[in-house]
Amino acid sequence: MAQKAKDIEAKLSLVTINPESTIGKLAQPSVKLPGSPKEKEKSQYETIQPMASLFEQTLLLLFDSVILKLMEKKGLNSSTMFTRHANLE
């Protein structure tokens, strides 16, 4: 899917544990976050959390702060944001 997007000149950005992955090499920009049990030996981060929990929690904090900053810049609040919220279930 990412390659198809690039083929039609879509912009692709990525938040990942591994920017050297196949999709990581296609994305520009890519942001690396900690959290992979595979990189424990070479990481400065230690966690007792299972699998990718550290990555998922860090991802949540990153995107919450990006959204809060965008809300501030656009003069939005939780009420105006809620009107744009979609439940796709």
* Residues with a known catalytic role: 56
Q: Where are the alpha helices (DSSP H) in the chain?
A: 2-7, 22-26, 53-74, 78-82
Q: What's the one-letter identity of residue 59?
A: L
Q: In the numeric block, which tokens belong to residue 61?
A: 């904090």
Cis peptide leading into residue 29 (ω within 30°): yes
